[in-house]
Amino acid sequence: MSNSFRFEKPPVITEYIIQTEKLPEGEEHRFAVISDLHECSFGKDNDLLLSAIDSIHPEAVLIPGDLISAYPKADPRRTMHFLKRLHEKYPGIFFSPGNHERKLFERIKYTRQMMLFKKGILKAGVELRRNTRDKVGDNISVYSLDLNHDYYRRVIKKRVPSGMINCLLGKPDRRRFNILLAHDPDHFPEYAEWKPDLVLSGHVHGGLVRLPKLGGLISPAYRFFPKYDSGLYEKNGVKMIVSRGAGSHTFNIRINNPPEILKLIVRGGMTTDGKERQRQ
């Protein structure tokens, strides 16, 4: 059982422009953001996905978790081959774990898949970033948060303790524009306490079914109408963008909810307003 699906159309590209005074006027950085691919493919050999990323012309590629799917019989090798092709074009890849990657680390029944994943990511030349900080240019930092699987509980939410993110990542450098890759948007209040400038999340798959005016129907934690399902949010001056995700697993249910990757532009300027534009 592969639990992966093939799409014959490219993903939707949703564009966000974030302006910040932490970058000089006129400075601009462009990123492609891929969340929740779950070993799915777009056309033969993921050519449609690569073409969509090429159209963004990214400086770096940000992956906030769940590139693979954690099932004992799943095979990540096709996705690792895609990652290798992606890395050959875009050496700056920042890949942080989601709950499916965490399962590989924590549960013995995924030992075979973990070995394939480790071999594949090594061959791709990409390092899984776990509670690390990386720099992009002179003014941007990318932090990759890795929480253990307890923080992805269903039904009953386990809150991230105050100060824990600071212990894992250290204090953010306030002089720089700080991006936090954090897979589960449900912990946004805790992320906002740490005070990054921008959080990038996924995990919720847009709520699977999207209803007009109501948004996503259900989250992976089995909560109806999740608060953070898709789009741009703000709390205490911290912004969060939640991707609807590029793929599906177990059941390919995406009603009014096409697969999505993000085009993120961080631009120097006087305002801090987020702008959104969607295109096919």
Whole-angstrom distance, CA of residue 261 vs CA of residue 247: 10
pLDDT at position 3? 67
pLDDT at position 144? 98
The tens digit of pLDDT for each residue in 32-73 reads 999 999 999 999 999 999 999 999 999 999 999 999 999 888
For 140-201, what is the HEC assignment? Answer: EEEEECCCCHHHHCCCCCCCCCCCHHHHHHCCCCCCCEEEEECCCHHHHHHHHHHCCCEEEE
pLDDT at position 156? 80
Q: What is the mean pLDDT of residues 244-264?
A: 94
Q: What is the mean pLDDT of residues 250-254?
A: 87
Q: Please, what are the domains in the chain? A: 6-279 (3.60.21.10)
Of the candidates 270, 265, 271, the one whose C-alpha atom is nearest the C-alpha of residue 136 is 265
Q: Sheet with 140-144: list strands edge to edge.
A: 132-136, 140-144, 177-181, 198-201, 238-242, 231-235
Range name among 14-28, 68-82, 179-193 with the lowest pLDDT average: 68-82
pTM comes to 0.94
Q: Quick one: what percent of the chain has pLDDT higher than 90? A: 85
Q: Which amino acid would we find at residue 216?
A: G
